[in-house]
Amino acid sequence: MCRLAAYVGSKSQPLSALLYDPPHSLERAAIAPQELLAGTVNVDGTGAAWWPSARSEPLRYVTTQPPWADPNLPGLAPELRGHTVLAAVRSATPGLPFGSDSVSPFVSGDLAGMHNGWIGGFNRGVGRELLAGLSDERFGQLRAMNDSLALFLLVAQHLDDHPGGSVPDAVTAVIQHTAKVVIAAGRSATLNLVVAIAGEVVAARTSAGTDVNSLYSLRTTEGTWLASEPLDPEADWRRVPEHSLVILTPDAIDIWSVDHDGRSA
């Protein structure tokens, strides 16, 4: 099911601030998650995307190894920094491909994104219908038949189709459309989707026809943080309400309600 974390702030942070340093870092959540809905561990890949200072497009590092096993990441993570940082550890959905192309975060242009969840029926009619919304160019970026990558590309496609549109509007539209397709097919999906540009992180905490994955936010003097599980249990992490969109900027956390088909009461 994956575990993920993000940061956006006025002070740059190393990748290790999400992956290794906190008491319940993503390295810890990979082997000992506390709020996983399905599965037991998240050891099918590790990834990070970050925006160094004065750069509009993110850099990306992904590996099929868990955080402690990659030969380079533990040494690089304390030195690679950004004012906006995303990171994730993967638990591969049965039936979907294994490999670095399936490891979040994904990047395209100035966007990066990751997904904690799964889409029921993606390898059948659900995926075919969702992917029909991609242009030939965006479909060519689907390097693996992966539901998380498909969601990210659908957000990028929405922004292509609506020049000047916002990331929150694009994430909301993709969540609503995906939920409609999933419910119409008699399936379910968990849809914690995170998409970021430099200086803004947008995350949905929702599902269609099933339970909702965990998600928390935290505001500090350095910036704002997001995580599937609190990185430091001693800090004042707040649970994001179910069926909500949370928008993180360096000095604020805004929360919107998200309505869609299959939303539980």
Assign residue 223 a region (left: φ > 0; alpha: ψ between -120 and 50; beta: otherwise): left
Within-domain flag for 264 = no
Q: Given a cut of 60, is residue 265 above it in pLDDT?
A: no
Say if 165 falls within a structural domain: yes
CATH code, 25: 3.60.20.10
Residue 97, pLDDT > 90, answer: no
pLDDT tier, 205 (very low <50, low <70, confident <90, very high otherwise): very high
For residue 90, pLDDT over 90 is answered with no
Would the pLDDT of 20 be above 90? yes
**3-state DSSP assignment of residue 256:** strand
> Does 87 fall in a domain?
yes
Indicate the angle between helix axes 147-161 and 167-184, nearest 10 degrees: 130
| Cα–Cα distance, 248 to 254 (Å, whole number) | 7
Residue percentage of the chain with pLDDT more than 70:
96
Q: Once rounded to an integer, what is the mean pLDDT over residues 16-28?
A: 97
From the list 22, 33, 15, the residue with the least C-alpha distance to 218 is: 22
Q: Report yes or no on 49 lying in a domain.
A: yes
Is residue 107 within 8 A of residue 99, CB to CB? The reply is no
For the chain, what is the domain count?
1
Does residue 128 sit within a domain? Answer: yes
The pLDDT, as a whole number, for residue 1 is 58
| pLDDT 10s digits, 130-188 | 999 999 999 999 998 999 999 999 999 999 999 999 999 999 999 999 999 999 999 99
Residue 94 has pLDDT above 80, yes or no: no
User: Which tokens is 169 given?
Assistant: 């509007």
Q: Which domain holds residue 197?
A: 3-257
pLDDT at 262: 84
169, burial (CB in 10 Å: exposed 0-12, middle 13-18, buried 19+): middle
Whether 265 is covered by a domain: the verdict is no
pLDDT tier at 233, thresholds 50, 70, 90: very high
pLDDT, mean over the chain: 94
| Band of pLDDT at residue 111, cut at 50, 70 and 90 | very high
Domain membership of residue 93 (yes or no) is yes
Q: Is residue 263 part of a domain?
A: no
225 dihedral zone (left: phi>0; alpha: psi -120 to 50; beta): beta
d(CA 158, CA 65): 32
* 128-142 residue pLDDT tens: 999 999 999 999 999
pTM (two decimals): 0.96
